Amino acid sequence: MHLHVLDREINRLNTVRRIILAQSRRANVGHIGSCLCIVEILVALYEYVMKTAPIEDPERDRFILSKGHGALALYAVLALNGHITEDDLNAFCGEDSIFGVHPEKAVPGIDFSTGSLGHGLSIAAGAALAALIQKSRRQIYCLISDAECNEGSVWEAAMFASQHQLGNLHVIVDFNGQQALGLTRDVLDSSNLAERWASFGWRVSEADGHSIPALVDALTSESPARDPHVVLAKTVFGRGVSYMEQGRPITQAHLPVQPINWHYLPMSDREYEIALEELEPAG
């Protein structure tokens, strides 16, 4: 029974990764590594943590993808959960499409348009404050990246959330250690994010960002205090595709091996084939 659940979970995760790879290849766009590393976080939230349906229910939980460049991963999870269709997925990066690289609230299941880093957390804090004023039990979840913590506005919102005891606000930091042009430790070192969040009055948990049980445990952990909660989810950029994890292009051999490659690069057909072979077969 346990194994069966595990199989189902692996298939689920692989299906999400297949959608990310297939749509990125079809649309010939990048941000693949950023999407692959948040798959477990999104699946944990949508399958085990949040109450997301029905969409019309004002009491459902809210999710804000502040690192909006991971929208394709969110579309894949929304498709698996029946919020959007396969046709919708095939509209990714189409002309006059609501399914862009960054999420738009026009998409069923998406409540806020995001994409400018540092924007989402203050919206999430507003949504959490609204729930408290309305005496609603709905929870607000917001996914940001470690590099996003470079933005001063993140800390404006962090101060407000602890001051106002927004215990219904849960932030997940995609702690992948790199940013657009380099490793975070070389750009603005974020290795002590746990201390920083704690010093801003947040309850801090740390979890393996690729372990569903660890993420679910952290996200559902309770505290008698009403502090807002941040889960630092340690992730591997490009998770699931070895050459992406290593920052290695296959067919674009003139490029240097560097971790940031798969923040930007689209895949060639050959790279797509290799990536698919690495994933466990679905079924």
Residues forming the site for other proteins (CB under 8 A): 58, 105, 111-116, 118-119, 121-131, 133-134, 152-153, 156-157, 159-160, 163-164
The letter for the amino acid at 251 is T
Cβ-based nearer residue to other proteins, 7 or 57: 57
Q: Tokens 């959330």 — which residue?
A: 161
Give CA 202 to chain center in angstroms.
20
Mutual angle of helices 120-133 and 152-163, in 10-degree steps: 20
Alpha carbon of 272 to those of 66, 167, 246, 256: distances in Å? 27, 42, 16, 19
Q: Tell me, what DSSP letter sits at residue 282?
A: P
In whole angstroms, the minimum distance from the beta carbon of 122 to other proteins comes to 2
CB 194 within 8 A of CB 26: no
In whole angstroms, the minimum distance from the beta carbon of 3 to other proteins comes to 42
Count, in order, helices (H) and strands (E) of the chain.
13, 7
Alpha-carbon distance of 140 to 261, in angstroms, equals 33
In whole angstroms, the minimum distance from the beta carbon of 134 to other proteins comes to 7
In whole angstroms, the minimum distance from the beta carbon of 126 to other proteins comes to 2
Cβ-based nearer residue to other proteins, 19 or 230: 230
Cβ-based nearer residue to other proteins, 153 or 258: 153
Is the link from the previous residue into 54 a cis peptide, with omega within 30 of 0?
Answer: yes
Cβ-based nearer residue to other proteins, 66 or 261: 66
Alpha-carbon distance of 258 to 183, in angstroms, equals 10
In whole angstroms, the minimum distance from the beta carbon of 196 to other proteins comes to 17
Give CA 123 to chain center in angstroms.
16
Cβ-based nearer residue to other proteins, 112 or 262: 112
170: CB partners within 8 A, 6+ apart:
139, 140, 141, 142, 219, 228, 229, 230, 231
Alpha-carbon distance of 20 to 36, in angstroms, equals 7
In whole angstroms, the minimum distance from the beta carbon of 230 to other proteins comes to 16
In whole angstroms, the minimum distance from the beta carbon of 116 to other proteins comes to 5
Cβ-based nearer residue to other proteins, 118 or 249: 118
The letter for the amino acid at 116 is S
The letter for the amino acid at 222 is E
Alpha-carbon distance of 76 to 208, in angstroms, equals 21
In whole angstroms, the minimum distance from the beta carbon of 28 to other proteins comes to 26
